Amino acid sequence: MPHVMTVLGPVDPSVLGFTLPHEHTQIALWQIPGRYDYWELTRDEPVILDELRLFREAGGTALADLTLPGVGRDPVWLAAIARASGLHVVMGGGWYRNPYYPPEARIDRRMTDELAEELVAEATVGVGETGVRIGILGEIGTDKPWVSPAEERVFRAVARASRRTGLAISTHAAQSPVGALQMDILEEEGVDPGRVVIGHSDSYPRLDHYLGLLRRGASIEFDFLGMAFEPTERHGEARVVDLLLELLARGYGDRILLSQDVCHNSQLRRYEGNGYTYLQTAFLPRLRERGVSEADVARLTVENPRRLLTIA
Ligand SMILES: [Zn+2]
């Protein structure tokens, strides 16, 4: 039976309404060598639950938390968050990007198939002793505009796990056309491109790049929406909206996903950020003003993420 694998078990895909396909409910990104800031979305249950309540009140029903081992993934935390928030929460699996690979994953020492085997086990049995299963592979990243040897191994392992489990793959491809290289590897491994989402596409707003990925059958994800860390993010939305409208006009509405990638405390409403509700409160109204139909809004925010998370 087709289903969505949430942290509380499988559910019928039809229960997923408005869904955020790329978020975090806690993540720490500062603990690697050479990083001296304290970038994190603090693991603070009452604060996060309050933010998620606002998302639910605005019509949200589900989210995928793509925090991976090495930056704080915790199945028990996610199960508690899902229970307390009433949201359907899907947990990601795999490894993030080279500087964040946890030493215990031994990415450089294990063969690709062994890594794939671990992911298949997480999809079928669960993570460790928790019994909590992953429902998507991601976010699987490249740290730079190229693919490191270890990252290539991870991409191949993830591809093989996707082929065996049917799980979709969601990538981290920031500020460069590296998503095309990620696709090269996934295609070479025989992954169904319909199960691939190239993430952070809005951080590289180029129509040709988008069309290249879409023509290969992948989906693209605008998931930095509402971010305001960089000037390009603070002032770049008009261009992203123009590109999105162009892609809708060209008939690609079924291959675009939207999210906000909340990964820092400053993004929370409590701290004057947009929280998990930027799409509902700001971005979608802007699309509607530009003439985007309710059918297209539903495609972008309900149908596409549901299809992505549905395991055949
Ligand atoms: Zn992310």
pLDDT of residue 167: 98
Using one digit for the tens of pLDDT, what is the confidence trace for 75-123?
999 999 999 999 999 999 999 999 999 999 999 999 999 999 999 999 9
pTM of the model: 0.98
Tell me how many domains the chain contains. 1
13 CA → ligand 1 middle, Å:
23
**Structural contact between residues 6 and 89, judged by C-beta atoms closer than 8 angstroms:** yes
Pairing mode of beta strands 27-28, 88-93: unpaired
DSSP 8-state code for residue 84: H
Using one digit for the tens of pLDDT, what is the confidence trace for 56-69?
999 999 999 999 99
What mean pLDDT do residues 282-297 have? 98
What mean pLDDT do residues 183-192 have? 98
Boundaries of domain holding 95: 3-311
**CA-to-CA distance for 291 and 287, rounded, in angstroms?**
7
What's the Cα-to-Cα distance from 133 to each of 4, 11, 35, 83, rounded to whole Å? 11, 12, 31, 15
**Structural contact between residues 209 and 180, judged by C-beta atoms closer than 8 angstroms:** yes
CATH number (domain holding residue 130): 3.20.20.140
154 CA → ligand 1 middle, Å:
17
**Structural contact between residues 212 and 255, judged by C-beta atoms closer than 8 angstroms:** no
Q: Which residues surround ligand 1, an ion (CB under 5 A)?
A: 139, 261
202 CA → ligand 1 middle, Å:
13
**Residue 4, SS3?**
strand
Element (H, E) at 222: strand 219-222
288 CA → ligand 1 middle, Å:
26
94 CA → ligand 1 middle, Å:
13
**Structural contact between residues 94 and 154, judged by C-beta atoms closer than 8 angstroms:** yes
Which residue intervals of 201-282 are DSSP H helices?
A: 207-215, 231-235, 237-249, 278
23 CA → ligand 1 middle, Å:
6
